Chains A and B, each alone.
Chain A
Amino acid sequence: AQSVTQPDIHITVSEGASLELRCNYSYGATPYLFWYVQSPGQGLQLLLKYFSGDTLVQGIKGFEAEFKRSQSSFNLRKPSVHWSDAAEYFCAVGARNTGNQFYFGTGTSLTVIP
């Protein structure tokens, strides 16, 4: 069965520290992979996405993610976290041939301390 796992429910980092949010997926074929961010009281905003090609993808706000097929992972990283990065982060996997099969992880809540 298809699924997305974000093992960390909540992460706290200091401002300026590096960040890595984990995402593992289970899917029958090579999927499309996404990271979304949700700030308090807001909708979900697309950070970045992977379709094919270079396995290291760059996104907005200085985020990047690396697709590792052997580990079925798509971890999100940022070298230096800013206080404004405090939010909920969702990993998602989508099918390549239909618009309906789209699975979200349960999210990781990020707290940034000064």
Chain B
Amino acid sequence: DAGVIQSPRHEVTEMGQEVTLRCKPISGHDYLFWYRQTMMRGLELLIYFNNNVPIDDSGMPEDRFSAKMPNASFSTLKIQPSEPRDSAVYFCASTLLGGSGNTIYFGEGSWLTVV
């Protein structure tokens, strides 16, 4: 299995620009998660989907953040406009309910720097 695939791995952008992060979950998984990791706040759950439907977006920091999952094999996290405080590592993860004890599998992350 290819695992969770994220792109881009690294992005540097200027404040005010739109950023789109992409994720391909493990085939057959029915939950997809977006996490943000910073030194100050650790791992934060931003939003998660079940069968492509957003279930809980209470972790999304503000309206500048949006996430979509148009099909079972693709999700995006968009930041518009980006700000320097959005600099972080963004992880996508997926799991299958009832499979392997709900083990969450992580992608390698998208390292975002907003200057």
Most-contacted residue by chain A among B43, B102, B111 (CB, 10 A)? B102
Most buried by B among A90, A99, A106: A99
Asked if A94 and B107 sit within 8 Å, CB to CB, the answer is no
Q: Is A104 in contact with B31, judged by CB distance below 8 angstroms?
A: no
Residues on B with beta carbons closer than 8 Å to the beta carbon of A96: 102
Q: Which residues in B have their C-beta under 8 angstroms from that of A95?
A: 102
Q: Name the residue on B nearest A102 (C-beta).
A: B104
Q: Does B30 interact with chain A (Cβ within 8 Å)?
A: yes
Main secondary structure of the interface of B (DSSP, over half): strand
Say how far A100's CB is from chain B's closest CB, in angstroms.
6
Q: Mark A25-64, 1 if CB is under 8 A from B, else 0.
A: 0000000101010000111111001010000000000000
The residue that A34 contacts in the complex, of B42, B43, B91, B103, with Cβ under 8 A, is: B103
* Neighbouring B residues of A99 by C-beta, 8 Å: 30-31, 48, 50, 95-97, 102
| Bound: A45/B97 CA distance, A | 19
Size band of the interface chain B makes with A? 20 to 34
Residues of A within 8 A of B31 (CB): 99-100
CA distance A98 to B95 in the complex (A): 10
Contact of A49 among B45, B97, B101 (CB under 8 A): B101
Which of chain A's residues have a CB closer than 8 A to the CB of B103? 32, 34, 46, 49, 94
By a beta-carbon cutoff of 8 Å, the part of chain A in contact with chain B is 32, 34, 36, 41-46, 49, 51, 90, 92, 94-96, 98-100, 102, 104, 106-107
Known contacts A42-B108, A99-B97; 16 additional CB pairs below 8 A are: A32-B101, A32-B102, A32-B103, A34-B103, A36-B106, A49-B100, A49-B103, A51-B101, A90-B43, A94-B101, A94-B103, A95-B102, A99-B48, A99-B96, A100-B55, A104-B42
